[in-house]
Amino acid sequence: MRLRLPGPLLTMVLTRTSPYFAAPASKLVARAAPASSSAGAAPSPKKRAGSGSSSAPAPSPSPKKRARSPKKEAPALEPPAGWRSTYDLITELRADRTAVVDSMGSEAIATSAGSAEERNYQVLVSLMLSSQTKDTVNAATMAKLRAHGLTMANILATPDDELDELIRAVGFHNNKVKFIKATTRLLVDEHDSTVPDTLEALTALPGVGPKMALICLNVCFDKIVGISVDTHVHRISNQLGWTGGGAPTKNPEATRAALESWMPFEVWGEVNLLLVGLGQEVQTEKPKLLRKALASSDPPAALRLLEVCGVDVAKEGAKHGIDVPA
């Protein structure tokens, strides 16, 4: 029988029963407030006059997206007690690298053929397609695009309706056609037909958010400047109490700020792949994950980890004929 406990009580249970889990620290350590930058801040854009002269037509909107303002520095969190043991256990459960993301994630499906710039462009396009789309669907769509000819010149020469048909299986395909076309045009016109290698330049491209940009920098340029947080990382980080121990963070960017405030830089580049794969297996491969937990170096702790992440281990064990200790 599955025991459902409120978050704080569940944390207490985990703390008392395994060295892999301890109550997440929620104490905030206030950082020194950064010096005010208002004196040097750029003035905000002026609003267009509402009833002035209308002899000149309104300018058409530029496809170029305004660069995001620098992220506000979040208060530093103390590392949650026992986080390293939990992290090591997750690493052990993910050692086989058999989650969907491991073979069909954006970094895995970009072809290595051709020049480095062609590969970088394919990684970027794959990331743009991945939003609100399963990795399996994204991989199939990328295969279609490669067969069509996934180069900047060919994408720009492809009519919008044809490109839309090629990527129709992904979420929000109509918008993604516009984003891919606008971004490709900017890459050609303003970046010498190359993918830029800074976070600011990447997030200024239409349809490219921080999560995509951070993965792109890591995969294409071996640059780690932040933790990429998607829905899996966001959910699991909150379930583990890695975001402060209080109320859950409201969105992936808030989760990123919380994680980056305490998580050692040495794991920034790998935590996304670890937690995304764990999240996928929690959702779609529970029997496999349950067997890995039972075969781990600490089965009781691994089973409790799965419970925290939303797996009813007793129910799943009974359903699939897996003997789960009471």
Query: Looking at beta carbons, which pairs linking 50-56 to residues 24 or more positions away fall under 8 Å?
Result: none
Question: Is 211 an annotated catalytic residue?
Answer: yes
Distance CA 293, CA 297 (A): 8
Distance CA 307, CA 22 (A): 15
Q: Based on the number of CB atoms within 10 Å of its own CB, is 21 exposed (0-12), middle (13-18) or buried (19 or more)? A: buried
Considering 176, 181, 211, 286, which one is annotated as catalytic?
211
C-alpha 123: how far from chain center: 14
Contact 301, 19 (CB under 8 A): yes
Buried b (16+ CB within 10 A) or exposed e, 286-317: beebbebbbebebeebbbbbbbbbebbbbebb
Task: Give the amino acid at 49.
Answer: A
Contact 261, 75 (CB under 8 A): yes
What DSSP element (H or E) covers 28? strand 28-29
| Residues taking part in catalysis | 211
